[in-house]
Amino acid sequence: MIRTMITATNTMGQLQKNLDVIGNNLANSNTHGYKAKHASFQELLYNEYRNDKADEAPRQSPIGIRYGTGAKIAQTQMNWKVGSLQQTDRQLDFALTTPKQYFNVLMPTEGGQEVVYTRQGSFYITPIENNQLMLVNADGNPIADENGNPIVFNDNVKDYAVRPNGTLQVTNEDGTTNNFNLGITNIERPNLMEHISSTYIGLPRNMADLGVDVADVLTNLQGAERNVIGLQNGVLEGSNVNYEKEMTDLINVQRNYQFNARSVTLADQMLGLINGIR
């Protein structure tokens, strides 16, 4: 009975983590640029007991008795499929139409700034010193250009336009133009990236332990490499969460959790019967 409880509780803890993953997906089903996550399970180690040495009858199954110890989440993978495009007709709304390409964002840290990556392309302008404007996202974090610098221009802007290769063209009131190459990075090994928030991902902190360097994980698109950028203006990429699938998975996980909880209850009742007999 104790073994039944251990097996069930091991699985229940992992099912709870899967419920958290599904709940996070549902909570961000309307978050622009959000990528759904999916957890996959694997069995824990088996305990094998060979208590039938006297049994010499031929058999096709393995010798002995094998007891399972539950299941665990093997890995949590992100779905990199491009979400549906939502028309906004706003000049500073951008959507990346190629999978695994991300905008570069400068996020403040204790030591200064670090580059993080997002697919959320709703940008704004904020005034700074010297009568200039800076391109930022909804969180107020600066958008980086291809060299990792904030995008700054004069405050006499009249119009914005974007080119397919990720070049932002700013037209001033006097008709002059300025071009800025938006910082866009292609994530080569996305499953190694560290999840920072609903839309931000960053480089893993333990890259040395993983045996990889920055060049193995991502490529900052510059020069001729910018021709592969897929960018569209006046639209935003919606979340790629499949609401119907998430609800189906939620029901399935809840039933599995209830089944294991029932196993614990039955094992407890049987132990109570044994104690009563004694």
Contact between 233 and 94 under an 8 Å Cβ cutoff? The reply is yes
262: left (phi over 0), alpha (psi -120 to 50) or beta: alpha
Given a cut of 60, whether residue 1 has pLDDT beyond it is no
Q: 258: pLDDT confidence band, cut at 50, 70 and 90?
A: very high
Residues near 160 by beta carbon (within 8 Å), at least 6 away in sequence: 91, 92, 168, 169, 170, 171
What is the phi/psi pair of residue 192, to 5°?
-85, -15
Residues near 206 by beta carbon (within 8 Å), at least 6 away in sequence: none
Q: 270: pLDDT confidence band, cut at 50, 70 and 90?
A: confident
The residue-averaged pLDDT of 127-145 equals: 90
In angstroms, the CA 148 to CA 259 distance is 52
pLDDT in tens, 24-74: 999 999 999 899 999 988 888 777 777 666 667 777 776 777 777 888 888
How many other CB atoms sit within 10 Å of the CB of residue 68? 14
Contact between 201 and 193 under an 8 Å Cβ cutoff? The reply is yes
